[in-house]
Amino acid sequence: MRIHPRLFPGLLALALLGAGGSAWAHGPQPHHSAAPLKKEQQVFGIAGDAPKVSRTVTITMGDDMRFKPDHIQVREGETLRLRIRNHGKLMHELVIGTPEELDAHAKLMEKFPDMEHEEAHMAHVPPGGSGDIIWRFNRAGQFDFACLIAGHFQAGMRGRITVTPRSSKP
């Protein structure tokens, strides 16, 4: 097939856009971008700074579609390192959010199972691997975490984070 020289720049741009989309697929490939993750305030907190971590909480997950522990208590203002370990043979992830956000995102993942997402409040963990989320819980409330890979959320792969107000006792 012969391509007219004036069409080549447009076709090249389309090809590059299409190639960029390949990084959005769930699968065994690493899910790390070279760009630093944005620190955007969420209703459940904001990305934290490693030097300000007050404690590390290890969360394991596996092919039984469960997190252990599945409930974490945090004091408002506390910065945690969530160390996520995948003991299964499948790819899993941990995404922090509100129940409504996670439910909507899980439904979207069912429709588009190859969609990938990368934000500071999520970690994609390959089989036998581990990942970290450093998060500052600067808002009190009840929040959730879940694996949003198609079918995992629906199988019950969820947990809860309780952030107590600074003025309350733990």
pLDDT, tens digit (0-9, with 9 covering 90-100), for 40-87: 999 999 999 999 999 999 999 999 999 999 999 999 999 999 999 999
CA geometry: angle 110, 113, 115, nearest 5 deg: 120
C-alpha distances in Å from residue 53, one per residue of 49, 70, 71, 111, 156: 7, 21, 19, 37, 29
The mean pLDDT value of the chain amounts to: 82
User: According to the model, what pLDDT value does residue 3 have?
Assistant: 37
User: According to the model, what pLDDT value does residue 170 have?
Assistant: 54
Closest CA to 73 of 21, 24, 1, 143: 143
DSSP state of 92: E
pLDDT tops 80 at residue 136: yes
Domains and CATH numbers, the chain: 8-164 (2.60.40.420)
pLDDT tops 60 at residue 26: no
What global pTM score does this model have?
0.77
pLDDT tops 80 at residue 105: yes
